[in-house]
Amino acid sequence: MTVKSKASLSFYFCFVSEAIKVKQKILIGAGSKSDKAAFYQRLQGFLNPQHEYFFTFLCLDYFQEPVLAHSEHDENSSSQIIKRMEFEMEVELISTQANRNIDVFKAQLTPPSLHGLTKVADLLIIDSEVYEEYGRQRIGEIIEEVNCPVFILPNCKQVSRLILVHDPNEHSINMVKHFLKLAHQDLTKLPLSVLFAFPDDDEQTENEKFFVEYLKMSFPNLGLQLMIQEPIDELMINLNADLGKAIIMVGQKLGVEILNYSNSTTVFTLRSPLFIHKS
């Protein structure tokens, strides 16, 4: 092969690679008190760098709480308007500094608008500070309305493993496909622990064999574990010392259960990244 043909071939592959670059819409849910610049930088480590992203920030402070008109001269209304303006200015600064496709949703965030926004989005990433500040009810309401996967991201220093709770009724295969489409390739190199319930019948046993074979294609360091207790309890036992160091992958039902988790000795605080698939 001549130097010229090699150069032409190299140009061709570069052109094709650029032409087929995947474009994805990512919603970023944050609060007015969130460090939005730091959160934006943090989430970059979890997204596939080969894709082209279009980010939209959502202010979750006033979800379902309408802002009063300027003419009403209400003290709370004025405070809300100022906070929303500050939120928008912070996002504009991030967009300028990063030179990326970043904007902010300036209208009132209501259940219908969130429902519509997430229909066209690939992922909603939520700053866990919103959970810490507003609690389980706010996040639960948001998860109920969205139509895309949700990734709740805390300020974790290092992720060393993945934990997937398999639920055949919540389409675990689709959850994994979504995760692989969005996640940084380095995450697939981490150990993946898959928690299984005992199969109900032969058909489910066969399907789970296919599921495991599919996982082996992308996750070379794969471990399987049969759940004896309830999924939420098995998950907490598995997290143990790895709380804050593991990405948890679950369906919607268990995801909400995790956010609400408490027992006589433990109250769960969101320290581990939580990927919730919407079936």
Q: Which residues have CB under 8 Å from 65's CB, separation 6+?
A: 80
CA distance 218 to 187: 10
* pTM for the model: 0.86
Quote the DSSP letter at residue 264. Answer: S
Q: Where are the domains of the chain?
A: 23-64+77-153, 161-276
Phi, psi of 176 (to 5 degrees): -65, -40
Quote the DSSP letter at residue 49. Answer: T
Class of domain 161-276: alpha beta
Nearest C-alpha neighbor of 144 from the set 261, 255, 26? 255
pLDDT, tens digit (0-9, with 9 covering 90-100), for 222-277: 999 999 999 998 888 888 767 778 999 999 989 988 888 766 445 556 788 999 99
Quote the DSSP letter at residue 56. Answer: E
CATH number of 23-64+77-153: 3.40.50.620
pLDDT, tens digit (0-9, with 9 covering 90-100), for 93-141: 999 998 889 999 998 888 899 999 999 999 999 998 887 777 677 788 8
